[in-house]
C-alpha cells in the first residue's frame, strides 16, 4: 500500500517551453502533497505544499509564477514548470500525505531543459 | 527550529561489517524522526520512523535506529552490511505539527559497501 506515482519519469524540453509533471497517490487519498527539488548529490529541498482544493504554499525563494501547482483532487497534484530554462533542470520528487505526518514519496521526475 | 545534522557525507564499510550512519537533531518539541533511503534516480523509501513510542525502532532491510534524547541523536545501524545497502540515506525531522507539519532533511550520507 501507500504507492505514489509520478509521470513522466524523464522529460527533455526546450528552453522557453512549459512542462507538466503529475503526482498521483494510487491507493490512498492525500489531503496534502509536497513537491521537492533535488540537485545532483544534494538533499531534497521543499518547494511547495499543496492541499486539495486550495492554493499551494510556496517556500521562501520559490517563484510561484514559475512553478505552478494544482492539487485538483485527493489523488492528483501537478507541477508545471513554466518558461523552463536550463537552470530548472533537476530531479523533482513529490510526496503525498494521507494523515498528519508520514509522507510517501514518488519515484521522481528528471527534467532536462536544453 | 527543527533541523537534523548528518555527520559524514560518505561512509564506506566492508560487506558483513556494521553500518552506522549518524544523525543528530535539533528540536524545541518532541520530534518525529525518519530515515529514508534513496537509490540512484529513484524516490525515497521509508526505512523507519520514531514517533515517541519505543526508543529503539526497527525498520525494513534489517535497519534499526535508537532515539536518544540525552544525546539528541537518532543514529541508523545495521549489524551486517550487504552490497544492496549501497545507497544514499537521509535523516529527516518534522517541523510544524498536525496538518501543517513538513519534513526537513539532512544533507544525506552516501553508503558504499565494498567486498
pLDDT at B1: 73
Tell me the pLDDT band of B101, cut-offs 50, 70 and 90. confident
For residue A106, the chain B residues in CB contact (below 8 A) are 43
Query: What does the pLDDT look like over B8-61, one tens digit per residue?
Result: 999 999 999 999 999 999 887 778 899 999 998 888 999 999 987 788 999 999
Taking the C-alpha atoms of A50, B91, B81 and A107 in order, what is their torsion angle to the nearest 10 degrees?
Answer: 10
pLDDT at B71: 93
From the number of C-beta atoms within 10 Å of its C-beta (0-12, 13-18, 19+), residue B93 rates as buried
**Residue B77 pLDDT > 90:** yes
Rounded to the nearest integer, the mean pLDDT of chain A is 92
- What is the chain B residue with the closest CA to A92? B43
Alpha-carbon gap: A107 to the closest alpha carbon of chain B (Å): 4
Cβ atoms A71, A53 nearer than 8 A: yes
- The mean pLDDT value for A40-47 works out to 88
Test B105 with A107 for CB contact under 8 angstroms: no
Q: In the predicted model, is pLDDT for residue B86 greater than 90?
A: yes
Amino acid at each position: 500500500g501507500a504507492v505514489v506515482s509520478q509521470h513522466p519519469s524523464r522529460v527533455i524540453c526546450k528552453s522557453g517551453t512549459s512542462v507538466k509533471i503529475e503526482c498521483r497517490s494510487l491507493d490512498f487519498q492525500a489531503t496534502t502533497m509536497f513537491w521537492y527539488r533535488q540537485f545532483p548529490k544534494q538533499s531534497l529541498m521543499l518547494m511547495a505544499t499543496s492541499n486539495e482544493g486550495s492554493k499551494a504554499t510556496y517556500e521562501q525563494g520559490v517563484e510561484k509564477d514559475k512553478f505552478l501547482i494544482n492539487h485538483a483532487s485527493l489523488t492528483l497534484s501537478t507541477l508545471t514548470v513554466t518558461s523552463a530554462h536550463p537552470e530548472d533542470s533537476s530531479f523533482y520528487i513529490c510526496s503525498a500525505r494521507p494523515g498528519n505526518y508520514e509522507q510517501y514519496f514518488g519515484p521522481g521526475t528528471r527534467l532536462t531543459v536544453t | 527550529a527543527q533541523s537534523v545534522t548528518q555527520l559524514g557525507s560518505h561512509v564506506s564499510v566492508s560487506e558483513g561489517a556494521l553500518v552506522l550512519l549518524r544523525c543528530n537533531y535539533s528540536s524545541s518539541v518532541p520530534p518525529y524522526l525518519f530515515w529514508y533511503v534513496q537509490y540512484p534516480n529513484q524516490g525515497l523509501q521509508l526505512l523507519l520512523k520514531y514517533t515517541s513510542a519505543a526508543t529503539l525502532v526497527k525498520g525494513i532491510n534489517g535497519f534499526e535506529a535508537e532515539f536518544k534524547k540525552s544525546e539528541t541523536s537518532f543514529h541508523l545501524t545495521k549489524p551486517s552490511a550487504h552490497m544492496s545497502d549501497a545507497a544514499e540515506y537521509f535523516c529527516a525531522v518534522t517541523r510544524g505539527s498536525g496538518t501543517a507539519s513538513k519534513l526537513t532533511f539532512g544533507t544525506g550520507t552516501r553508503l558504499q559497501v565494498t567486498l
